[in-house]
Copies of this chain bind each other. A is one copy, B any other.
Amino acid sequence: MSTNSIRRETTVADVAAVAKVSKAQTARALGGYGAVSSDVRSRVLEAAEQLGYRPNMLARSMNTGRSHTIGVVVGDIQNPYFSLAMRAISDTAQPAGYDVLLINTGEDAPAEREAVRVLQDKRVDGFIIAPVLSDDNAHLQAVVDSGRPLVLLDRAVEGLDVDVIATASEQASFEAAQLLLENGHERVAYISTLRTRSNRYEDGFALGSTPVAQRLGGMRRAFKEAGKEFPSSLVRLNAGTDENIRQTVRELLAPPFDATAIMASDSVIALSALEEIANAGLNIPTDLSFVMFDDLPWTRLVTPPLTVVSQPVYELGVAVATALIRRLRGGKAPETTFEAKLINRGSVAAPPTPKP
């Protein structure tokens, strides 16, 4: 017990009093800026130590204009894709002196707009956002206009000129579709959570340059090269809840769709889909072929091991944080390219009734 009767934080003024120097000099010594004689510095530091001084970052931020905090907005932190990316962002930002204010939107567009507003109000130095919608940019444009750097993760947004860190997946999707075609599949379904205005995927449907657009593009190309018609009616977007996904799977497997292969655009979808497939008593790959985007450890443990399209998610997270930090330091974001890769394990085989 010593001098802590009334809980008041010690301030520069207190330290200054003990060190017997002006507040300004004290602040300079403590903040590590300006010119301070080593004599004064040591006296100040000692006094600070003795008083247990801790700087009030809010006050500091207020007049420097920098909070040393970056805002991260994702749809679902529970999704391994994002939690891994988050880990990478955190690992990268920390040593650079930035902390992370995380907002989860639950893949809800209004929530994302609100998140951006909150982060702006809290004066974060920069933003990393994995946007829910690819064609809704007003709030993001506002960020750009505010002069605070913004880097997009995973998907681009129409008409928004900012750095985007994403994985090129056209080629890997092409190869995945090709693999399915070679095995005799034509009724290939694709399920994604991507939020769009319309539910149906039509030819020429505007998906911008989202991963989904690339993936569907790759698949189309494979079908075209094979001289087959791409089954647009088997593309399902806006897959949200577990139940929603299961129902979609049931639908796709029944007439008139009769899918013989399913591609799940992320691991969350895959998990729901695989359970539903098991429930239906269907066996992979004999009854149905399956491809999942993202590679997770458990995909090697299931029977059969899953054929996947893997992305370097951790590296993506590092890159997005690095890009933002460069911008924050007034530089340009480094050019980085990431390519998805098809890993053929055991969940693709010929459909039960191969077409000629």
Binding site for B on A (CB under 8 A): 4, 7, 54-59, 61-62, 67, 69, 76-78, 80, 83-84, 86-87, 90-91, 94, 99-104, 106, 117-118, 120-123, 145-147, 271-272, 274-275, 278, 296-298, 300-303
Q: What number of copies of this chain does the assembly contain?
A: 2
Q: Is the CB of A58 within 8 A of B67?
A: yes
Q: Is the CB of B87 within 8 A of A147?
A: no
Compute how far the CA of A297 lies from the CA of B87 in the bound complex, rounded to whole angstroms: 21
With contact pairs A58-B62, A83-B83 given, residues A69 and B122 touching in the complex (Cβ less than 8 Å): yes
Given A99-B103, A298-B298, output 13 extra A-B contacts at Cβ < 8 Å. A54-B120, A54-B121, A56-B121, A56-B123, A58-B58, A78-B86, A86-B102, A90-B104, A99-B122, A101-B102, A271-B298, A275-B300, A301-B302
Task: Evaluate whether A78 and B87 lie within 8 angstroms (CB atoms) in the complex, with A122-B99, A275-B301 already known.
Answer: yes
Which chain B residue lies CB-closest to A297? B271
Q: Provided the pairs A57-B123, A101-B101, A271-B297 are in contact, do residues A80 and B80 lie with their beta carbons within 8 angstroms?
A: yes
Nearest CB in chain B: distance from A173 CB, A? 24
Q: How far is the CB of A313 from chain B (nearest CB, A)?
A: 10
What residues of B have a CB within 8 angstroms of the CB of A104 in the complex? 87, 90-91, 94
Which residues does chain B contribute within 8 Å of A54, judged by CB atoms?
117, 120-121
Provide 7 A-B residue pairs closer than 8 Å at the C-beta atoms, listed in order of the A residue.
A54-B120, A56-B123, A77-B90, A83-B83, A83-B86, A274-B301, A275-B300
Residue of B nearest to A9 (CB): B146
Nearest-CB distance from A246 to chain B (Å)?
12
Cβ distance A344 to chain B, nearest Cβ, rounded Å: 19
Measured CA separation A102–B274 after assembly (Å): 33
What residues of B have a CB within 8 angstroms of the CB of A99 in the complex? Answer: 101, 103, 118, 122
> Does A87 lie within 8 Å of B77, measured CB to CB?
yes
- Contact, CB under 8 Å: B83 / A77: yes
Contacts of A87 in B (CB 8 A): 76-78, 104
B residues less than 8 Å from A300 (CB atoms): 275
Contact A122 B58 (CB under 8 A): yes
